[in-house]
């Protein structure tokens, strides 16, 4: 009984974190699913977003302006990755790793030290661990707005050309799409959302640390893949697919809350996350294998 | 319409895998002319096609389309003027997108892509009508994902996409080679319909000698990176497979034509 009640107490926090990281996961969705680009920039760009936000707020810039700046900061990080890939021919994964590594130093430069505190007592922050219920609501509003904008954008000519690039770059070029530009735009938008999420997360925790983004991509992928494995068959509408990504992020944090409640050492959290995501990534593959196995056993050829 | 002037293309230059794929090809296509290209494996057919499409740039020579020098124009810019259908049915369409979305993408070929809606109601109606002319039952499946279609349906759809914005040049790269004979015949019929309807200037690679003889105004045979035979007009109309093989032997001084062409 006590276990359940303490778990319930952790739920608002898990939901708030899930919603905030959900925005980040929506950014990962753009690069990983829409563009089919394994972008590892996010581990750095989420901190860049938070660092820029904290620096500006500490210097008296209004919260809203600082959040726009964090979106732009994330976008620039994405732009760098895109340029490494499209102009210099560096493979996608490596281009992201290089940007991420370089961003570590840049983030330290922005912050001046490894931690910047932004206290909810001094600034009118939108979300905070101090008030988890209200934070959930605010984060939810952001999520709904982002999903709405993404739904609209990916239905436009420009958005469709980004989707086409991810679906078939060869065909896209044959249809006159400059796939270098569409990749660039996708990475810019995706990392912009990651930066924005970094600003929200910084407010929620009341600080940004230079190591905040370590393993962020894994959480983002976890959200995307949990959403897909659980709701992929159910949802075909694009907005619902995006919603399932955010639900995936929330579920991820609920599971984390659960295992911590069960007594998992927090030092082991990253290992747990990695194993957890590996399992979910493997599910579609194993399912297909099983399917094929059954088919060949049944004597049905795939002509 | 298309003027290819003495183009060369060598792959892996300076390595043991060096391969001269195009060895001084010149070719002129008049407006509305449709030309079939045949030749064995490695003769340079696909290299020629991809050089015109801009998949890569040629080492030397010039490619002029309708008076414009496109030799150094990148692939996506050439797409404004060139429609393409590929050998692999997977290559010409986006499998995870709907039929109507694929068509809408093709309808905007050569235009700037803006924040306007990616597809409009009026366009849907137009797509429905165009698809019904293909007689493949696709007009009622506008929102189906293209990945659900058969190879033949995908090739027919790609043909429609390639001609949706009338191209100055249509490139067909063995577009029936991956299909079973019955489907291939159907896709060839659709090809004829579309090419005749719009009087398209067409360059078609085929592995099928009969198709090459029956289709188009002119037949070109490639051999070792050059054009070995160029037959047009009345001579083309009377052509038989046997004639073709004999001519090929004369032109190249080689008797490997039979195996190479018939098997490929």
Domain residues for the domain of A35 are 2-297
Please indicate whether, in this complex, the C-beta atoms of A167 and B109 are within 8 angstroms of each other: no
CATH code where residue A21 lies: 1.10.3470
Domain residues for the domain of B240 are 2-263
- Shortest CB distance from A173 goes to which of B75, B93, B110? B75
ipTM: 0.90
**Which pLDDT score, from 0 to 100, does residue B264 have?**
43
**Residue A28's closest CA among A42, A18, A14, A16?**
A42
**Which pLDDT score, from 0 to 100, does residue A5 have?**
86
Please indicate whether, in this complex, the C-beta atoms of A157 and B106 are within 8 angstroms of each other: no
pLDDT 10s digit of each residue in chain A, 303 long? 778 888 888 899 999 999 999 999 999 999 999 999 999 999 999 999 999 999 999 999 999 999 999 999 999 999 999 999 999 999 999 999 999 999 999 999 999 999 999 999 999 999 999 999 999 999 999 999 999 999 999 999 999 999 999 999 999 999 999 999 999 999 999 999 999 999 999 999 999 999 999 999 999 999 999 999 899 888 889 999 999 999 999 999 999 999 988 888 888 988 998 998 898 888 878 888 887 776 655 444 443
For the purposes of burial, counting CB atoms within 10 Å of the CB of B61, is it exposed (0-12), middle (13-18) or buried (19 or more)? middle
Domain count along chain A = 1
pLDDT 10s digit of each residue in chain B, 264 long? 899 999 999 999 889 999 999 999 999 999 999 999 998 888 899 999 999 999 999 999 999 999 999 999 999 999 999 999 999 999 999 999 999 999 999 999 988 899 999 999 999 999 999 999 888 889 999 999 999 999 999 999 999 999 999 999 999 999 999 899 999 999 999 999 999 999 999 999 998 888 888 888 899 999 899 998 898 888 888 888 888 888 877 777 765 555 555 544
Size of interface A-B (CB pairs under 8 A): 82
The side-by-side arrangement of strands in the sheet containing B218-223 is B82-85, B169-173, B202-205, B34-39, B218-223, B226-232
Q: Dihedral through CA A83, CA A89, CA A95, CA A99, nearest 10?
A: -40
Please indicate, yes or no, if residue A303 is contained in any of the structural domains: no
Strands B226-232 and B19-29: unpaired
Structure tokens at A199: 């600003």
Largest CA distance in chain B: 59
A241 touching B, CB under 8 A? no
In chain B, the DSSP E strands lie at 2-11, 19-29, 34-39, 60-65, 68-69, 82-85, 169-173, 202-205, 218-223, 226-232
What residues in A contact B115, CB-CB < 8 Å? 153, 156-158
What residues in B contact A176, CB-CB < 8 Å? 76-77, 79-80, 108-111
**Which pLDDT score, from 0 to 100, does residue A299 have?**
45
For residues B194 and B162, give the distance between their C-alpha atoms in angstroms, rounded to a whole number: 10
What residues in B contact A161, CB-CB < 8 Å? 105, 113
Give the residue on B whose Cα is nearest the Cα of A168. B94
**Which pLDDT score, from 0 to 100, does residue A261 have?**
87
Please indicate, yes or no, if residue A302 is contained in any of the structural domains: no
CATH code where residue B241 lies: 3.40.50.300
Domain count along chain B = 1
């Amino acid at each position: 009984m006590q276990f359940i009640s303490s778990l319930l107490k952790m739920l608002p926090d898990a939901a708030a974190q899930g919603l905030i990281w959900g925005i980040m996961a929506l950014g990962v969705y753009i690069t990983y699913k829409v563009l089919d680009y394994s972008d590892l920039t996010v581990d750095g760009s989420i901190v860049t977003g938070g660092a820029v936000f904290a620096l500006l707020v500490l210097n008296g810039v209004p919260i809203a302006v600082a959040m726009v700046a964090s979106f732009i900061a994330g976008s620039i990080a994405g732009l760098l990755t895109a340029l490494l890939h499209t102009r210099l021919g560096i493979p996608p994964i490596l281009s992201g790793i290089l940007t991420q590594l370089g961003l570590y130093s840049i983030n330290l430069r922005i912050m001046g030290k490894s931690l910047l505190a932004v206290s909810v007592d001094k600034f009118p922050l939108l979300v905070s661990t101090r008030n988890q219920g209200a934070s959930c609501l605010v984060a939810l509003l952001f999520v709904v707005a982002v999903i709405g904008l993404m739904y609209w954008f990916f239905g436009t000519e420009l958005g469709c050309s980004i989707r086409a690039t991810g679906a078939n770059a060869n065909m896209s070029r044959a249809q006159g799409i400059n796939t270098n530009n569409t990749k660039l735009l996708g990475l810019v938008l995706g990392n912009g959302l990651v930066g924005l999420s970094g600003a929200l997360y910084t407010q929620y925790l009341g600080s940004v640390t230079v190591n905040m983004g370590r393993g962020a991509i894994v959480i983002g992928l976890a959200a995307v893949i949990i959403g897909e494995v659980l709701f992929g068959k159910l949802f075909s509408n694009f907005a619902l697919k995006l919603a399932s990504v955010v639900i995936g992020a929330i579920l991820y944090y609920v599971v984390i809350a659960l295992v911590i409640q069960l007594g998992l050492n927090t030092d082991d959290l990253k290992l747990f996350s990695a194993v957890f995501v590996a399992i979910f990534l493997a599910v579609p593959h194993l399912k297909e294998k099983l399917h094929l196995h059954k088919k060949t056993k049944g004597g049905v050829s795939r002509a | 319409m298309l003027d290819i002037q003495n183009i060369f293309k060598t792959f892996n230059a300076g390595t043991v895998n060096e391969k001269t794929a195009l060895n001084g090809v010149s070719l002129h296509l008049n407006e509305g002319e449709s030309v079939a290209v045949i030749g064995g494996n490695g003769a340079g057919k696909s290299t020629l096609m991809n050089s015109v499409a801009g998949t890569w740039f040629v080492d030397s020579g010039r490619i002029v389309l309708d008076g414009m020098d496109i030799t150094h124009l990148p692939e996506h810019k050439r797409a404004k003027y060139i429609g393409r259908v590929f050998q692999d049915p997977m290559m010409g369409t986006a499998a995870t997108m709907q039929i109507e979305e694929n068509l809408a993408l093709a309808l905007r070929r050569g235009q700037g892509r803006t924040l306007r809606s990616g597809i409009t109601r009026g366009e849907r109606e137009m797509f429905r009508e165009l698809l019904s002319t293909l007689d493949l039952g696709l007009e009622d499946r506008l929102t189906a994902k293209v990945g659900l279609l058969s190879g033949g349906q995908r090739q027919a759809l790609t043909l429609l996409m390639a001609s949706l914005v009338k191209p100055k040049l249509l490139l067909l790269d063995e577009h029936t080679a991956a299909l079973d004979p019955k489907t291939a015949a159907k896709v060839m019929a659709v090809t004829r319909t579309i090419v005749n309807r719009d009087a398209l200037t067409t360059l078609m690679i085929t592995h099928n000698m009969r198709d090459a003889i029956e289709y188009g105004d002119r037949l070109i045979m490639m051999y070792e990176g050059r054009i070995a035979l160029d037959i047009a007009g009345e001579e083309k109309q009377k052509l038989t497979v046997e004639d073709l093989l004999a001519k090929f032997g004369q032109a190249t001084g080689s008797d490997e034509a039979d195996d190479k062409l018939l098997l490929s």
